[in-house]
Structure formats: C-alpha cells, structure tokens
C-alpha cells in the first residue's frame, strides 16, 4: 500500500480557529434539556434549530447566519440530548457533535493527531419520537456529523409511520453518524420522501433498526406521477443486526435510484426466510411488482456482505444496471446470496450485471449467487468461487469496534499466501480507501528479498502490511526550512500562551512546539551541504499484527511508523538508475546517507558539490524493521535522490544619501545577500574552502549585477567584468562598491535593482536598494523608482537650477 491517510491537521485547526475568531456565527447549544423558549439563559437543540430557521435569536440561542442562503452550524456538547418530540428543521443546518478526538496522542490508524475516540454526543427519541423530520415547507438540507441517533420511533405517527430516526425531504448528509434501535413501519432508520431527497453517508454503525420494509432504508417510489429519481451514496458504514424474521427488506429500493455502496460491512441482518431481502433492487418482489425504473443503477464496490439471514441477500432482476465489483457476497444463511427475481438466469444474455473480482458461492443451493453463465464463463469475471471453502478459512471472526477498526465492527481476510485467499489479488481496481479510511495499495517494493508487490484485497477492509516504497527526494533551501520551523514554533507557542485557546488542543500544541524546537535545533547542528532530509515513516504503511487480548481473543494492533516500533537501517549505493526496478550504477565514495536519530530522518549528502548528472540519480537503500517481531517483519526500498544547486538570495535594503554631498556612499551589497540555502559548506571535505559567491577564472570575485543604469546615480566598483555563464553579456561588479548622485542639486530619492551570483554561477532573485535622499521630505512625491527619471523630474531639476541662477545674478 502506497500511503496510509495523512492530514495537515495543524493547518486545518489553525485556519478554522482564525475564521471562527474573525466572525463566529455558530449557534452553541449549552443545555441538554429539550426546552422551547422557556429559559432565556440557556440554548437548547430545539431552540437552536428554531433560531437557525428565523435567522434571529430565539430562546437562549444566538441568531446564527444572517442570510438564508448560508447554512447555520449548530454545535453540540458531549452527552445525551433526550427529545420529547421530533425536531423539524426548516432551513439548511449543519449539526455537529463534540469532536471525537483525543489530542494527547496520535490515532492508531493515521499516526496523526488527534486519536479518534468513540462518538461523544447522542440524541435520543426515547422510543417514543422520531428524531429528525425535514419533509415540510422548505425541505431543507440536513447535515449531521459525529452523532449517535438512538431509540427513534415513528410508530406513534399514524399519518406517516416512516423513518424511525430521519424522515428526509431534502438533501441528507451523515458523516460519522450511527443510528441505533430505531423503528418504523417503513424505513426503520431513514426514509427518503419526495424528489428532493437524497442521502450521503460515510462512516458509522447502523445496529438494531427494524421495520416491516426497509429496516435501514426506505423511500417513496412514485412522486409527481413519475418514478422518483434520487442519489444515494453509502461508504465506510457497518450495518449489523438490523431487521427481524418478519421484515421484508433491509434496504428497500424503488423508483429510479442511483445507489452506490462502497467499502461497507453488511452483516448479521435479518429478513423473512420465505420472502425477505437484505438489499431489494428489483421490480418484481415476492409481494408483487413495485414502481422501478429500467434506468435504476446500483454499484456494490468492495463490500463485505456476509452472515445475513434472509430468503435472499441481494434480490435483482432484469431492470436497471447492477455493478458488482470486489465484494465478498457469500456465507449468508437461509437462502441465496444473490437471487434473480425474473426466474432462471442461467441462460439470460442481458441481466444488466457487471461482475469482477468478487468472492461468491457459484454452486447451486443455499448461499448461491445466481448469475448468468455467460458472466462467469472461463473465469473472465475473476470470481473467487468459495463454494467449497469455509468461512473460517478465508476470514477472521468479526472484529468488534475498537480504535483499530475506526470503532466499527468489520471483518478482515486471512493471508494464506495462495491464489484462493482474498489478499493481494493482483488487481488495483478496488475502492481507493477501505472502510477504516486506509488508502488501498498501489506499491511495488524495490530491493527487499522478502518484499512482494501489494495489491487489492477483496471486501471492505485492507490488511496493513509493512510497506516501504521507492520515493524520490531533492534537496531544498535549508534557510527556508529553518524559517518555516521558526514560524510554526512561534504559532504554537503563542497558542499555548493564549488563555482563550481551547484547552482540548493544548497537549497537541505542546507536542508540536517540542517537535519544531527540535527540528530547529538539530537541522542547524546536523545539516550537511545540500542535504536531503527524508522521513522514512511519512509516506509508508505500517504493519498490522494479530495479538491476544486479555480474554485470549485475537485482536488487531496497528504498529505506528515511529522509532518506538521500528528500526531504520540505510546504505549508500551510489549513482545510477533503476533497471527492472533494481539499482544499476556504480559506487561513489563522495555520496553518503545515514540515519539521524536526532531528526528522526535519513540524511543524504555529498562531500563534494557535484550536482546529480542528468538522467541519473543518487541511490540510498533503506529498510524498516518491526521491533521484537517473530518472525522478522521488514520492508526495503530506495530513496532516489537528486542534488541541485540552491540559488542565492538578495534582500531589499534602504540606504541614506546626504543631499548636496559629493561624497560617495560605500555600499556592501553582499551584506544583503546570502548563499546559505545549500547548507553547511564545512561538510565539503572533498572540496574545502568553496567560496560563497562567484569568482571568475582569474580569481576575481564578481558576484554583483546591477539590473539597469540609472543616469542620475553613479555606481562604481573596484572590480568589474563579465557575469557568469549565460549572463556574460552583462557586467558584474566586485570589491568596494560606491554610490553617489550625479548632481549635487538632485533632491530626489531613487531605487535600483541588483542580483548576486553564487560560486556555481546561479543568479539570485531581484533585490531592490532604495536610496533615500535627505533632501526628500517624508512621503514626498519626489521619489523616482527603478531608474525612471521622467519628464516632470527633468523639468523640476531645470526649474530648480534656473531659480538658483536667478538668485545668484540678483546678488551679483
């Protein structure tokens, strides 16, 4: 696997805090009581939704957003909100639970801060009330994040006994939202109403929801005299223990849906053993025909759908398109895993099914996935037929929610090292991330004798294998890096010192402060010349091992990529190129790479200043080895380095010139320039005493070029000659540089531009020198820039000269 998910969390937090501080329109709920205008000192969830609708203060809640086109954000605290009746948002709202994070430690999956925790905020219908209803008036969008919805019920709504937790009339988006123990006649958890409704879900657990139809999801089939079109996207969610032996379906599709299921776990759900379906996607059902468009689409991609009990797990017919890719759709009880609703499918030539890389039971009988024979002919669909392979051979028992599963129950495949297991199937068309958010693999290791190429696993989860990947790196300006570290350090120290900073973030800020302090200290002390600083942990994937918990049960543990868990060994190979993914080149004793314990990075450098030849690279092999692992777990790859010259920098400066003075001003332009971006030249043991700036073949230092002549300004130097390389048509200066105004009568200030060249002939950026004339008043318009004298300036000088002559003639 190429990467496991990384985030720029610090930047995100700081940016968010800055925006909030500037103009925070969030409505903060500060009571768990279900109040409605009774206590002006407190803001309840119900009052916050009303304030959002009115766009003005209500109860104890602030007004929120002024404009109706901007969704209001409602922030909840950790704890449980118990409802006496359903909530009816009538404007677009975003409702956030308390962030489920611990900033004192990194996450076990990402190794980034904060560590993910269980959901901290819940809303309960207490078994007597639906939780959200958005079908009225404006049919607003509803966005929920980091929430647990529990014990919702629409059974008391005799007019609309649907949607136990959510009755949706508009766009509904759920992120890290779990729905538990909700009940309805249709749509036990969620019911989509009308043509304006759609659903997007990512991450969460749906457990214990029940309904006669659609224990998890139901919907209207016909609106405005036509089959209802709607979009439904579900990814990274676990659906377990939903339905009952009397339920007709768990997901009840009709109308004209476009639905996608990606990297979900659908397990241990129940529907009728004589006429029930877990996923009903067909016009023909055991109860008769439903309104179902021929243009309906369902995509099942990288899901684990096992251990369900129903007449069929997937009911499909000739209507619509069915894409079934990289799923485990097997090991289901009391019926078929896939059933064709229109009869015998074996000789059907156009069943509307696209099939690839699934684990299915193809043999006739219980658990069979009924498919047209043309789909599986000669193995072109790459199906893994599990007809004669037991569940326990291919899969571990269901892993219960933990940090290593993103707090969702799920299954993991066993790596048998054979072509019959579901690991590394040799194809990379699976979902981009697995159910936990871990990036799926596209990695081919380089030089390790035990390394193998990683590819997709079938199903919703990806097994984390320690993977070092070939990575390219180039040296960059060390001065810019140090400035960046200092800036970050200052930001974190300021946040730590600020008494208004959210105290939840302080542990993280302190860790980052120490990190940047160390980066500053050791980059300064341990840098070489043109150093490549390479973090071998950042781009790679950790090992995930099976251990025994206190009860003796096998559980997964992700071993973070850090020096606490891994050793890093490196070896300088030399200069060359990759041939058949192996280093092909020659050793170079002036090229070095080493593991630096202070910086926790691999350092690559040369003891001469030679840039990397065109078409070649500098190769360093690095190996990550898990500590205390038996057998040894390690992975080896290449750092493919390239050394370049970092150009010098020229800074702006201001110099003062005395009005009327004929005395030239001595200027040390190199004082405002540096060539420190390459790093410590003392490390050039094979080329000691390298000068910083350009010296010509005669040993004369000529590093300065003035970009344009200023007629009113005279610039002289002790030495001059052609500039280096392609700029030889220009004149460069060295030694003592002097600047003076051509006329003692000139009252103007000027600017001129300059460049400097380093010892390798690379030019700097453009620097600007401002010459402030003492005869020019502050903020005077009499300032000439960039050498442009201008006709008004000329006329001014002529007028001044004429005036002085007239005064002299009068005195005479």
> What pLDDT does 6 receive?
36
For residues 14 and 498, is the Cβ–Cβ distance under 8 A? no
Whole-number Å distance between alpha carbons of 164 and 699 = 86
Kindly tell me the burial class for residue 377, based on how many C-beta atoms sit within 10 Å of its own C-beta (0-12, 13-18, 19 or more): exposed
CB neighbour list of residue 795: distance below 8 Å, 6 or more residues apart: none
> What pLDDT does 9 receive?
43
Joined tokens for residue 337:
């895993």
> What pLDDT does 127 receive?
96
- Residue range 749-774: mean pLDDT, rounded: 94
- Beta-carbon count within 10 A of 783 CB: 16
DSSP state, residue 620: E
Q: Helix 9-22 vs helix 478-497: angle between axes, to the nearest 10 degrees?
A: 50
Whole-number Å distance between alpha carbons of 575 and 640 = 10
Nearest to 413 by CA among 437, 434, 396, 435: 396
For the whole prediction, is pTM greater than 0.95?
A: no
Note the maximum CA span of the chain.
Answer: 127
DSSP state, residue 188: S
Q: What sections of 144-221 are H helices per DSSP? A: none
DSSP secondary structure of 459-478: SS------B---EEEE---H
Predicted confidence band at 453 (pLDDT cuts at 50, 70, 90)?
low
> What pLDDT does 443 receive?
54
User: Would the pLDDT of 131 be above 50?
Assistant: yes
To which residue do tokens 């023909």 refer?
284
User: Would the pLDDT of 264 be above 80?
Assistant: yes
Assign residue 726 a region (left: φ > 0; alpha: ψ between -120 and 50; beta: otherwise): alpha
Nearest to 475 by CA among 293, 321, 601: 601
Report whether the peptide linkage leading into residue 92 is cis, meaning its omega lies within 30 degrees of zero. no
State the DSSP H helix or E strand holding residue 445, giving kind and residue range, or none if neither. Answer: none
> What pLDDT does 381 receive?
84
Whole-number Å distance between alpha carbons of 459 and 411 = 9
- Beta-carbon count within 10 A of 78 CB: 12
Whole-number Å distance between alpha carbons of 512 and 505 = 11
Whole-number Å distance between alpha carbons of 613 and 615 = 6
Nearest to 375 by CA among 336, 343, 349: 349
Joined tokens for residue 240:
């377990």
For residues 259 and 428, is the Cβ–Cβ distance under 8 A? no
In tens, the pLDDT along 743-758 reads 888 889 999 999 999 9
| Length of the chain counted residue by residue | 812
- Residue range 424-439: mean pLDDT, rounded: 87
In tens, the pLDDT along 688-704 reads 999 999 999 999 999 99
Joined tokens for residue 18:
């800055």
Give me the chain's average pLDDT, please.
90
Residue 195, CA distances (Å) to 15, 176, 226, 465 in order: 37, 25, 10, 45
The strand pair at 731-741 and 713-722 is best described as antiparallel
Give strand pairing partners of 604.
532, 593
Joined tokens for residue 308:
């369900």
To which residue do tokens 């200043």 refer?
609
> What pLDDT does 438 receive?
87
Whole-number Å distance between alpha carbons of 459 and 452 = 20
N-terminal to C-terminal alpha carbon distance within the chain:
94
For residues 277 and 266, is the Cβ–Cβ distance under 8 A? no
DSSP secondary structure of 561-611: SSTTTEEEEEEEEEEEEEETTEEEEE--TTEEEEEETTTTEEEEEESS-PP
Whole-number Å distance between alpha carbons of 399 and 405 = 8
User: Would the pLDDT of 320 be above 70?
Assistant: yes
In tens, the pLDDT along 330-359 reads 999 999 999 999 999 999 988 999 999 999
Give strand pairing partners of 734.
719
Whole-number Å distance between alpha carbons of 144 and 576 = 54
Whole-number Å distance between alpha carbons of 677 and 691 = 14
Phi, psi of 506 (to 5 degrees): -55, -45
- Residue range 766-772: mean pLDDT, rounded: 94
Give strand pairing partners of 569.
623
Look at 29-43, 288-302, 366-380, 448-462 and tell me which has the smallest mean pLDDT: 448-462
> What pLDDT does 2 receive?
34
Phi, psi of 735 (to 5 degrees): 75, -150
For residues 292 and 322, is the Cβ–Cβ distance under 8 A? no
Residue 559, CA distances (Å) to 161, 417, 544, 658, 703 in order: 48, 22, 6, 68, 53
> What pLDDT does 451 receive?
53
């Amino acid at each position: 696997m190429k990467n496991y998910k990384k985030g720029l969390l610090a930047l995100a937090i700081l940016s968010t805090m800055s925006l909030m501080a500037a103009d925070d329109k969030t409505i903060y709920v500060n009571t768990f009581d279900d109040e409605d205008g009774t206590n002006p000192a407190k803001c309840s969830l119900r009052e916050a939704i009303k304030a959002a609708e009115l766009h003005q203060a209500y109860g104890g809640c602030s007004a929120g957003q002024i404009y109706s086109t901007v969704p209001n954000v409602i922030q909840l605290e950790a704890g449980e909100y118990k409802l006496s009746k359903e909530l009816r948002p009538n404007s677009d709202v975003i409702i956030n639970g308390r962030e489920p994070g611990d900033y004192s430690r990194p996450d076990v999956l990402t190794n980034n801060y904060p560590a993910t925790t269980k959901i901290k905020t819940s809303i309960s219908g207490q078994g007597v009330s639906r939780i959200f209803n958005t079908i009225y008036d404006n049919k607003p969008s509803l966005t929920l994040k980091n929430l647990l919805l529990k014990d919702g019920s629409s059974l008391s709504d005799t007019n609309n006994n649907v949607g136990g937790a959510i009755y949706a009339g508009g766009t509904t988006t759920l992120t890290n939202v779990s729905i538990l123990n909700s009940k309805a006649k249709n749509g036990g958890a969620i019911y989509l109403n009308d043509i304006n409704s759609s659903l997007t879900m990512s991450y969460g657990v749906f457990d214990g929801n029940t309904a006669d139809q659609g224990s998890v999801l139901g919907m209207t089939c016909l609106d405005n005299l036509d089959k209802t079109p709607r979009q439904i996207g579900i990814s990274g969610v676990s659906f377990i223990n939903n339905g009952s032996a009397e339920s007709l379906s768990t997901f009840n599709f009709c109308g004209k849906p476009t639905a996608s299921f990606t990297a979900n776990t659908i397990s241990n759900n129940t529907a009728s053993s004589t006429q029930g379906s877990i996923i009903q996607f067909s016009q023909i059902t055991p109860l008769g025909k439903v309104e179902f468009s021929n243009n309906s689409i369902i995509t099942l991609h990288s899901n684990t759908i096992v251990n369900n009990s129903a007449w069929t797990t997937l009911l499909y017919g000739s209507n619509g398109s069915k894409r079934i890719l990289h799923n485990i759709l097997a090991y289901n009880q009391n019926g078929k895993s896939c059933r064709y609703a229109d009869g015998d499918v074996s000789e059907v030539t156009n069943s509307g099914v696209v099939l690839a890389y699934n684990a299915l039971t193809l043999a006739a009988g219980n658990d069979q996935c009924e498919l047209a024979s043309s789909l599986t002919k000669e193995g072109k669909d790459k199906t893994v037929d599990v007809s004669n392979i037991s569940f326990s051979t291919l899969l571990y028992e269901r892993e219960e929610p933990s940090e290593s599963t993103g707090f969702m129950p799920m299954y993991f495949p066993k790596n048998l090292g054979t072509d019959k297991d579901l690991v590394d199937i040799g194809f990379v068309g699976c979902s981009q991330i697995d159910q936990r958010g871990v990036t799926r693999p596209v990695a081919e290791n380089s030089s390790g004798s035990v390394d193998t190429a990683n590819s997709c696993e079938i199903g919703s989860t990806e097994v984390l294998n320690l993977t070092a990947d070939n990575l390219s790196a180039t040296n960059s300006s060390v001065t810019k890096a140090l400035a960046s570290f200092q800036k970050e350090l200052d930001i974190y120290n300021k946040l730590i010192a600020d008494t208004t900073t959210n105290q939840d973030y302080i542990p993280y800020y302190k860790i980052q402060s120490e990190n940047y302090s160390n980066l500053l200290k050791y980059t300064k002390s341990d840098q070489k010349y043109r150093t490549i600083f390479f973090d071998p942990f950042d781009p790679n994937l950790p090992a995930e091992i099976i251990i025994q918990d206190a009860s003796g049960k096998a559980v997964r543990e992700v071993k973070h990529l850090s020096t606490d868990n891994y050793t890093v060994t490196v070896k300088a190979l030399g200069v060359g190129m990759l041939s058949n993914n192996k280093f092909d080149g020659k050793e170079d004793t002036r090229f070095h790479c080493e593991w630096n314990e202070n910086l926790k990075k691999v350092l690559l450098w040369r003891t001469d200043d030679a840039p990397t030849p065109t078409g070649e690279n500098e190769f360093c092999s690095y190996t990550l080895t898990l500590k205390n692992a038996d057998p040894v777990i390690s992975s080896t790859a290449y750092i493919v380095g390239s050394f370049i010259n970092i150009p010098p920098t020229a800074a702006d400066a201001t110099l003062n010139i005395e009005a009327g003075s004929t005395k030239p001003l001595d200027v040390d332009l190199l004082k405002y320039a540096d060539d420190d971006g390459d790093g410590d030249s003392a490390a050039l043991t094979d080329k000691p005493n390298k000068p910083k700036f350009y010296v010509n073949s005669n040993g004369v230092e000529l590093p300065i070029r003035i970009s344009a002549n200023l007629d009113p300004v005279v610039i002289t130097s002790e030495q001059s000659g052609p500039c280096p390389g392609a700029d030889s048509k220009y004149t460069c200066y060295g030694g003592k540089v002097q600047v003076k105004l051509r006329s003692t009568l000139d009252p103007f200030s000027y600017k001129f531009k300059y460049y400097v060249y380093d010892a390798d002939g690379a030019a700097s950026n453009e620097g600007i020198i401002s010459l402030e004339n003492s005869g020019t008043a502050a903020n005077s318009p009499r300032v000439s820039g960039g050498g442009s004298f201008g006709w008004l300036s000329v006329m001014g000088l002529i007028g001044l000269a004429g005036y002085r002559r007239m005064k002299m003639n009068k005195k005479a």
